[in-house]
Chains A and B, each alone.
Chain A
């Protein structure tokens, strides 16, 4: 699946040899390119979050567009070496640079797998799965059909690999921005919030399976074979089989593997080996005719239930923070504005339909189950933003020569539009009454806030930490969400509530039905603080402890 990149590498190496450049020069250029990309992407990401209140990925993408070979990149000339970024064989990045971006996409999906709440996936609400699946199928078919029905883009068959890719690109929801808005509006534990978050987990897993199937089908088509319905069945069975079997094997042996790795007794070594395993499975997935990111995701999923999961996440965070922006910036660099001109209208229609497909695909099942039109709209809008996975899939399609630069630009356009549209629409939709049907509204599913005000931020944070520990002690799953504000999602069977640290206030959003539990547990934690106070009083006088510590410093 790396036709373009391979062709390009061969040409690039030949060029390098022909022009007398050696590998040191190639690496020097790479290092300078990376330096520019990292700095520009990070600044762009910062500006997007700080001033636009948008996810950093948006700023990173746009930075890439600005410094790419189709914009400023070709105008920045390095003395004796030519332009900083230049297009080679229709590809915006050199093979070396694309290699680093690929590594970043593996890390991204490995961590996404690690963070997947598999327990929730297996046990959580039926509504979540129906909403996730509804959105996935509608988005896929609408995306695929738009490509086929649009005149003059050369796609005539729903089985055309480019059509399949346009379908699968519009599938994966990126729920990060939705989570932030739900937290801001205090709706995380609302029936809509719970459904969106559960739906997003299903969306992730099913999205990866859908990509696996499409990769298999595209491969057959690219090799010149015809894909008939029987063939699809076999490919789908293979892809799902690979996913299910490898995930099951991974989950079964994850604990054994990690306990073997733990023999090294060094966190660094353990984390590095786990990452090595993720790359190994990524390579194997590609060998099996799927995509590398599928293997990386499965390895993450398998390790997500081991006690090493947290360590891996924590230790890879630094690498993630540096490499992943490079990936998004490189994706931005690949947007060829001149190739986009003829497909601009198609892009606008495709993006608009991508909005409707999720709103209807997720909203209708939600409406059919227990929400009214208002609630269904909220859920549809919450599932609207596409992000990281859409970009990775588009990048894979471009690198493999399945989609051209114009269609790639369309994919980027759709990601940007859906991500920018979601926040204002979602904010607005949450004004107003309950999203549940009349007969359910006012029931115990109604969510209310418990607010506790403390004299200082430190005490709030301290008590929140104790409360989280107590909840884990009661066998709850407590997940910290990736938001700037400190937010935890707490779950066990059908109980779900959210803990939010808001300055000096500790806020708990919980359904009325689950409030007795929260109140009892909070009371116990508050009382345990008095034990702590007593213990501090037993400590030696703090002043004399301090003077003991500082005595002799200035002798």
Chain B
């Protein structure tokens, strides 16, 4: 899967402002809504929160992958955000999360939605890359790190 096709400067939020898990998800949804077409922002937010309620998407080593399925979007939407200070995201290892990969995918349309998450997760297995991403500071730099 080609990450370059999926990512652009407009899909990267270099400094997430939120301090709580719910606020972070809301900020990411609003960021997605600003740059893409989401027919129902509240439904999209609810989908992500519902998924989060079933099981936290806070993984290990500071990574979180909040996501939701909703027909408020017509194609896979992706946002990547960094919060150098970290947020408590109920992560599996109990550590605060610093890198957030948010995806919204249409519920009734086929496509490589989870495959995108898997691809980017594979990249983030690299400790050095994670550290560089947190230290990057700008959308250009983050995009460059993920796609080159």
Q: Which of B59-101 contact A (CB under 8 A)?
A: none
User: Is there an interface contact between B54 and A473, defined as CB atoms closer than 8 Å?
Assistant: no
**Knowing A523-B55, A527-B54, A530-B54 touch, does A474 contact B122 (C-beta < 8 A)?**
no
A520 cross-chain contacts in B, Cβ below 8 A: 114, 117-118, 121
Q: Is A15 an interface residue (CB 8 A)?
A: no
Interface bracket on B: 10 to 19
B107 (CB) vs chain A CBs: closest residue: A473
User: Is there an interface contact between B111 and A475, defined as CB atoms closer than 8 Å?
Assistant: yes
A497: min CB distance to chain B, Å: 12
What string of 1s and 0s marks CB contacts (under 8 Å) between B111-125 and chain A? 111110111011000
B51 (CB) vs chain A CBs: closest residue: A527
A444: min CB distance to chain B, Å: 9
Q: Which of A502-525 contact B (CB under 8 A)?
A: 513-514, 516-517, 520-521, 523-524
A517 cross-chain contacts in B, Cβ below 8 A: 114-115, 118-119
**Knowing A523-B55, A527-B54, A530-B54 touch, does A516 contact B111 (C-beta < 8 A)?**
no
User: Is there an interface contact between B55 and A474, defined as CB atoms closer than 8 Å?
Assistant: no
Q: Is A262 an interface residue (CB 8 A)?
A: no
B69 (CB) vs chain A CBs: closest residue: A524
Give Cα A255 to B26, complex, Å: 45
Q: Which of A475, A514, A516 contacts B112 (CB 8 A)?
A: A475
User: Is there an interface contact between B54 and A521, defined as CB atoms closer than 8 Å?
Assistant: no
User: Is there an interface contact between A474 and B54, defined as CB atoms closer than 8 Å?
Assistant: no
User: Is there an interface contact between B122 and A513, defined as CB atoms closer than 8 Å?
Assistant: yes
B118 cross-chain contacts in A, Cβ below 8 A: 514, 516-517, 520-521
Give Cα A319 to B111, complex, Å: 37
Q: Is A472 an interface residue (CB 8 A)?
A: yes
A344: min CB distance to chain B, Å: 57
A514 cross-chain contacts in B, Cβ below 8 A: 118
User: Is there an interface contact between A473 and B55, defined as CB atoms closer than 8 Å?
Assistant: no
Give Cα A406 to B118, complex, Å: 59
User: Is there an interface contact between B110 and A474, defined as CB atoms closer than 8 Å?
Assistant: yes
Give Cα A474 to B54, complex, Å: 22
User: Is there an interface contact between A524 and B110, defined as CB atoms closer than 8 Å?
Assistant: no
B50: min CB distance to chain A, Å: 9
User: Is there an interface contact between A527 and B110, defined as CB atoms closer than 8 Å?
Assistant: no
A472 cross-chain contacts in B, Cβ below 8 A: 110
Q: Which of B55, B112, B117, B122 contacts A527 (CB 8 A)?
A: B55
Give Cα A470 to B111, complex, Å: 10
**Knowing A523-B55, A527-B55, A530-B54 touch, does A474 contact B112 (C-beta < 8 A)?**
yes
Q: Which of B51, B110, B117, B121 contacts A473 (CB 8 A)?
A: B110
A513 cross-chain contacts in B, Cβ below 8 A: 122
Chain B CB count within 10 A is highest, among A513, A517, A523, A530, for: A517
B109 (CB) vs chain A CBs: closest residue: A473
B121 (CB) vs chain A CBs: closest residue: A516
B114 cross-chain contacts in A, Cβ below 8 A: 470, 474, 517, 520-521, 524
Chain A CB count within 10 A is highest, among B54, B110, B112, B115, for: B115
User: Can you list 13 A-B contacts (CB < 8 A)?
Assistant: A470-B114, A474-B110, A474-B111, A474-B112, A474-B113, A475-B112, A492-B112, A514-B118, A516-B121, A520-B114, A521-B114, A524-B114, A527-B54
Q: Lowest 7 CB-CB distances: which A-B pairs, in order?
A: A517-B118, A527-B54, A516-B118, A516-B121, A473-B110, A521-B114, A520-B114
Which residues of B approach A to under 8 Å, CB–CB? 51, 54-55, 110-115, 117-119, 121-122
Extra inter-chain contacts (10) besides given A520-B114, A520-B117, A527-B55, CB under 8 Å? A472-B110, A474-B110, A474-B111, A474-B115, A514-B118, A517-B118, A521-B114, A524-B114, A527-B54, A530-B54
